[in-house]
Structure 1
Amino acid sequence: MSDAAIAQDLAALAAQLQTLAGLQGKRDIQAAAASLPHRPFPKLGLAAALGDDAALLPATANRLLFACEGIHPDLVAEDPWFAGWSGVLVNLSDIAAMGGRPIAVVNSLWSRDRQHADQVFAGLQFAAEKFGIPIVGGHSNLQSPYSALSVAVLGQVGPHVLSARSAQAGDRCYLLINRDGQFYRHYPFWDAATGTAPEQLRRHWELMAQLADAGLVSAAKDVSMGGLIGTAVMFAETSGAGLDLHLDRLSYPAGVSRDRWLTCFPSFGFLLAVPEACCDRFLQRVATEPDLTCDHLGSFTNTGQVRLCDRQAQVCFWDCQEQSLMGFSALTDPESPH
C-alpha cells in the first residue's frame, strides 16, 4: 500500500473515531467545566485540579462522614437552579446532623440539554460558594430523556458523633430551626438560606459541630422531607426510644399554620436529644445565635412510641415496636458507653 493510500485510510479512521458516541459524550462535561472553579484546593497543587479521574482531597485525622441525596425528578425538571442549590444544602445538613464538617461535594446530573444543565450547575455552585465547600467532580449526561440529580458530600467528624441511635429515654428533645424565611414558591420548602449572608449560614451549620465537640448534644436528626413528624419517627425507630412531642410548645412563623409547619422541609432544622445535665449549657450556647429558634418540644421515653401531646391531650402517632418506617431498628452495641 502506498504512502498516499495509508494516509487516506488513516484520515478515514480518524474521521470515524471522531464520531464515536463515547467520545462526543465527553463534551457534556463542558457544562461543569464552565461553571465550577478548576482548583478547589490550590494548596494541593495541580493534582487536585478538576479534570482528573478522581478528586484529590486534603488529609484529615478525623473519622469521615459520607452522605448522598437524590433530588426529586419533578423539582429537577421544573426548577433546575433550586434543585442544584438544594442538592448541596440537604447534604450539608446530613453532615451537620452527625456533628460533622463538610469537606467536598460531588454530583451526578442527567439533563435534557446544556441550557438545563447550566441552571443546575448555577444552583450547585451558588450553594458551594455560600457555604464555602467546593464541588470536586461528578458525572454529566446532557443527552438524557429525563432530568435527574444526585449529590454526595464527604465530611469529617470529631470524637462525639451525633448518631440518632444515641438518643436515650430521659433526654430532652429540642427543635433548633431558622424561622426567618418563607416558603419557596408552591413547594413545602421553608427557605431561610438563599438570601442569607454566607458568614451567617456558615456559622449556623458550624454550630452543630460545636455542640457535638462540646458534648452538649447526644443525638440529632435533620428535619427532612418527612417534616418534623416524619423525622421524629425516624429518630425513635433508630434509637429504640419513644418521643413525646408537645405541639403546644411549638413556635412557628406568623401566617403559617401549625399543620404546614409540622410537614415542611426547612433549610435549617434539627431535632436534638440533649441529656438533662447538659440542658443549661446547651441553651446558653444556642442563645448566642439570635437568628435561630430553639423549642423544647418534649422528652425521649422508653415507650417506643411517638406521641403527639397538646396540653392535657395525647395520642399515639406511631408505635415503632408495632410497625417500622425505614426498617433500621435499634441496635445494641456492646462497646457503646450507653
Structure 2
Amino acid sequence: MSLLSLAEELRCQSGLLAKRDIRPAASVFNHVPFPHLGKPGRLGDDAALLPAQSGQLLMACEGMHPALVVEDPWFAGWSGVLVNLSDIAAMGGRPLAVVNSVWTAGPDSLQRLLEGMSSACDRFAVPMVGGHSNQQSPYEALSVAVLGVAEGPVLSARSASPGDELWLLVNRSGRFYRHYPFWDAATAASPGLLRSHLSLLPALAADGIVHAAKDISMGGLCGTAVMFAESCGSPITLELDAIERPDQVDEQAWLRCFPSFGYLLAVRPSMTGRLQRMLQGDPHLICCRIGSFGSGPCRVALQREGDQELLWDGSEGLTGFGCD
C-alpha cells in the first residue's frame, strides 16, 4: 500500500471520525475549569486534572430515566447534574467536578442535553470536566457522575441511632415540573440561592447539628425514609400530620415527589433548637420534625392521630445495602 493510500485509509477510519462527536461538548463547556492548574488543567486530556483536596473524597453517579431524556433533553441534562450535586451535599460534602456519558441518534437532542448540563454547572458553579459522547446510538441515554470532598464530618445515613429525631428540610418555593413528580425549586432560582442552599448540609455537619442525612430521591419522602431505615438498621416512625408542605399541594403528591432540594435529617434532640435557629431566617425553606428513629427491628411505619400502619418491613430488604 502506498503512503498516500495508507494516509487515506487511516484518515477515514471510523474510530477517528467518531471523535468528532466530542465537538458539541467542546463548544458548550468551559475549557479551563481551574485556571491555576495551567495547561495540564485544560479539558481534552485523557483524564481531568483537579486541584488537590484535604478532605475525604465522595463519588456519586446517576443515570437519567430514558423517557425523560427523550421527552425533555434539556431538563434531563439539568437534572443529571442537580441530582449528583444533591447526593454529595447529603453526605456533608462539596462538589468538585462532574463528568457525563451521553448517547444520542444525532446532534439535536445531544445539544439540548449538553445545554441543560451546562446551565446547571454554571448556576451551581461546579465545572464539567470530561465525559463520553456518541451520536450514532440507536437510543438516547445520559449518565452523570460527580466527585466531591467532605472537609468536615461525613453525614452517612448509617450514623442515625435510636432516639434521634427525623427532620425534613426542603425548599417550598417551587412548582411541579410539567407532568413529572418533580418539585422544581431550582430552574427559576438565582445562582446565589442555589449555591447557598447546597452549602447548608456541610455547614450543619461541621457544626455537629446534623449527624446523618439522606437526599430525597425518586422514591419520594416515604421511599427515602425506607432507604434511611435500611441503612441505619433502626425503625422509623413517620408522623404524617407533622409533614409541612406548600399551600395547594396535595399530600400524596408531596409524599411521592422528588424535590430539587430536599433532605431527611437525623438530629439529636439536644440539637433541634440550633437547627431551627440556623434555618429560620430563610423563607424558602421548610424545616420540621416529621418522625423519630426507634429501637427494635428495622421497619418504617406511618402514623396519624394515634393510628399506625406498616409501610415497609425491613426483613424484606430493598436495595441490598442494609445495615449488617
TM-score bracket, shorter-length normalisation: over 0.9
Q: Within 5 A, what are the aligned runs for 1:237-248?
A: 237-248=230-241
- Aligned match for 1:204, one of 184, 197, 217: 197
Q: Give the Cα–Cα distance (whole angstroms) in 2 for the partners of residues 323 and 131 of structure 1.
A: 38
Return 5+ residue gaps in structure 1 as ranges. Answer: 1-5, 332-338
| 1:21 matched residue in structure 2 | 14
- SS of the residue corresponding to residue 153 of structure 1 reads strand
Does 2:299 match 1:305? yes
Q: How much does 1:288 deviate?
A: 3.0
| 2:76 matched residue in structure 1 | 83
| 1:178 matched residue in structure 2 | 171
TM-score for both structures, normalised by structure 2: 0.98
AA at the equivalent of 1:297: I
- SS of the residue corresponding to residue 273 of structure 1 reads strand
Q: Give the Cα–Cα distance (whole angstroms) in 1 for the partners of residues 229 and 38 of structure 2.
A: 46
| 1:149 matched residue in structure 2 | 142
Residues 95-139 of structure 1, C-alpha deviation per residue, up to 9 Å, x if partnerless? 000000000000000111111111000000000000000000011
| 1:164 matched residue in structure 2 | 157
Q: Within 5 A, what are the aligned runs for 1:172-321?
A: 172-303=165-296, 304-320=298-314
Q: Within 5 A, what are the aligned runs for 1:18-57?
A: 18-57=11-50
AA at the equivalent of 1:311: E
Fraction of identical pairs, as percent: 54
Q: How much does 1:254 deviate?
A: 2.2
Conservation of the 8 A alpha-carbon contact between 2:54 and 2:151: no
Q: Give the Cα–Cα distance (whole angstroms) in 2 for the partners of residues 189 and 223 of structure 1.
A: 11
- SS of the residue corresponding to residue 53 of structure 1 reads coil
After the TM superposition, list the runs of 4 or more consecutive aligned residues in structure 1 that deviate by more than 3 angstroms.
Answer: none
TM-score for both structures, normalised by structure 1: 0.94
Q: How much does 1:255 deviate?
A: 2.2
| 1:61 matched residue in structure 2 | 54
Q: How much does 1:15 deviate?
A: 1.3
Q: Give the Cα–Cα distance (whole angstroms) in 1 for the partners of residues 108 and 152 of structure 2.
A: 44
- Count of residues in Structure 1 that have an aligned counterpart in Structure 2: 323
Q: Which moved more, 1:214-223 or 1:253-262?
A: 253-262
Residues 230-266 of structure 1, C-alpha deviation per residue, up to 9 Å, x if partnerless? 1000000010011111101112122221001000000
- SS of the residue corresponding to residue 170 of structure 1 reads coil
Q: How much does 1:323 deviate?
A: 0.8
- SS of the residue corresponding to residue 262 of structure 1 reads helix
Conservation of the 8 A alpha-carbon contact between 2:92 and 2:152: no
Q: Which has the larger radius of gyration?
A: 1
Q: How much does 1:195 deviate?
A: 0.3
Q: Give the Cα–Cα distance (whole angstroms) in 2 for the partners of residues 67 and 273 of structure 1.
A: 21
Q: Give the Cα–Cα distance (whole angstroms) in 2 for the partners of residues 159 and 244 of structure 1.
A: 29
- SS of the residue corresponding to residue 185 of structure 1 reads coil
Q: Give the Cα–Cα distance (whole angstroms) in 1 for the partners of residues 145 and 305 of structure 2.
A: 42
| 2:126 matched residue in structure 1 | 133
- SS of the residue corresponding to residue 119 of structure 2 reads helix
Q: How much does 1:298 deviate?
A: 1.2
- SS of the residue corresponding to residue 199 of structure 2 reads helix
| 1:335 matched residue in structure 2 | none
| 1:11 matched residue in structure 2 | 4
Q: Give the Cα–Cα distance (whole angstroms) in 1 for the partners of residues 152 and 79 of structure 2.
A: 29
AA at the equivalent of 1:189: F
Q: Give the Cα–Cα distance (whole angstroms) in 2 for the partners of residues 63 and 288 of structure 1.
A: 31
Q: Give the Cα–Cα distance (whole angstroms) in 2 for the partners of residues 275 and 266 of structure 1.
A: 24
- Aligned match for 2:318, one of 325, 333, 336: 325
AA at the equivalent of 1:313: D
AA at the equivalent of 2:51: P
Q: Give the Cα–Cα distance (whole angstroms) in 2 for the partners of residues 17 and 92 of structure 1.
A: 41
